[in-house]
Amino acid sequence: MSEDVANHVRHIVMSGAVRPGDFIRLDETAAELGVSVTPVREALLTLRGEGMVELVPHRGYVVSPLTPEDIVDIFWLQGQIAVELVRRAAPKITDDVVAELEGFNESLAAAVEKNQAEEVEIAEFEFHRVLNRLTGATKLAWFLNNATRYTPTRLYASDPEWGRAAVRNHEQLIDALRAGDVDAACTLMRRQFTDGAERLIAYRAL
């Protein structure tokens, strides 16, 4: 339960719903999420270790500074791992894998057009999981999964412009993988994370 709370706080911090200097109140957060203060306290201890919040004596937990450079760094790390995974997956691409990728991308496109944010998140996750699973690099995929905890996925999933761009990127990525063009596939994968950073920085600046 504390990890669910931590994910919630990561989302509101990264999306800008709470800003650096804002306090995260244990009782208010617990009431909002319908949990006791214990998992909230545990989550904030975890996030303090990650540098997302700081403990102010006698006052509570405050949101740490988050600069555009921090966001670029977070997405750079995610992109580095994702690019290496697609590089390893590329030689193992088969017609069946291509069909699976196309299926999830079609699901993504449909969910975007219907404004179904939860379904967008699922389809996007499953698309990338196909490639990550193909590599057999379970530890590397685990590191990517941990790095993407800092991505406010619901924010992106609720943005049709992002969704349509993701669908187009996936289509081009599938074409590159089908053609055996590893360099193009890596470039396209990196672009998705670069675009993600740029969109998040712009959103937080509103």
Phi first, then psi: give them for residue 63, nearest 5 degrees. Answer: -70, 130
pLDDT digits (tens, 9 = 90+) for 126-144: 999 999 999 999 999 999 9
Whether residue 56 is found in the same domain as residue 149: no
Using CA atoms, how far apart are residues 103 and 129, in angstroms rounded to an integer?
13
The reported pLDDT for the residue numbered 152 is 87
Give the CATH number for residue 14: 1.10.10.10
Average pLDDT over residues 171-183: 98
pLDDT of amino acid 15 = 86
Look at residues 22, 12, 6, 186 and name the one whose alpha carbon lies nearest to residue 91.
Answer: 186
34-38 average pLDDT score: 94
The answer on 36 and 95 residing in a single domain is no
Establish how many alpha carbons lie within 13 A of residue 75's alpha carbon, considering only the half-sphere containing its beta carbon: 22
The whole-angstrom separation of Cα 153 and Cα 157 is: 6
Looking at the structure, tell me whether residues 90 and 27 fall in a common domain: no
Same domain, 97 and 168: yes
Q: Looking at the structure, tell me whether residues 53 and 73 fall in a common domain.
A: no
CATH number at residue 93: 1.20.120.530
**Pairwise CA distance, residues 127 & 106, whole Å:** 10
- Domains identified in the chain, total number: 2
Q: Please tell me the pTM assigned to this model.
A: 0.87
pLDDT of residue 180 exceeding 80: yes
Residues near 71 by Cβ (< 8 Å), separated by ≥ 6? 14, 197, 200, 201, 204
Same-domain status, 86 and 170: yes
Checking if the pLDDT of 51 tops 80, the result is yes
State whether 26 and 84 are in the same domain.
Answer: no
Could you give the percent of the chain with pLDDT greater than 90?
A: 86
**Average pLDDT score over residue span 147-175:** 92
Q: Are residues 187 and 127 in the same domain?
A: yes
Q: Do residues 185 and 142 share a domain?
A: yes
- Residue 70: pLDDT band (50, 70, 90) is very high
Query: Count of H helices and E strands in the chain?
Result: 10, 3
pLDDT for 16 beyond 90: no
* pLDDT score for 78: 96
Look at residue 1 in the predicted model and tell me its pLDDT: 81
Residues 137 and 57 in one domain: no
- Output the pLDDT for position 204: 86
DSSP E strand stretches across the chain: 23-24, 53-56, 60-63
Boundaries of domain holding 47: 2-63
Taking the CB of residue 129, how many other CB atoms lie within 10 A of it?
A: 13
Do 80 and 151 sit in the same domain of this protein? yes
